[in-house]
Amino acid sequence: MHAIMLKAKLHRAQVTHSVLDYEGSCAIDGDWLDLAGIREYEQIQIYNVDNGERFTTYAIRGEEGSKIISVNGAAAHKAAVGHRLIICAYAHYSEAELASFKPHVLYMGADGELSHTSNAIPVQVA
- Check if 25 is active-site: yes
Cα(126)–Cα(123) distance, integer angstroms: 10
Please give the C-alpha separations between residue 64 and each of 48, 57, 61, 67, 90, in angstroms, as whole numbers. 23, 20, 8, 8, 23
Total length of the chain: 126
Candidate list 22, 47, 58, 107, residue with the active-site label: 58
| Residue stretches of the annotated binding site for substrate | 57, 73-75
Neighbours of 42 (CB within 10 A): 17
The residues annotated with a catalytic role in the active site are 25, 58
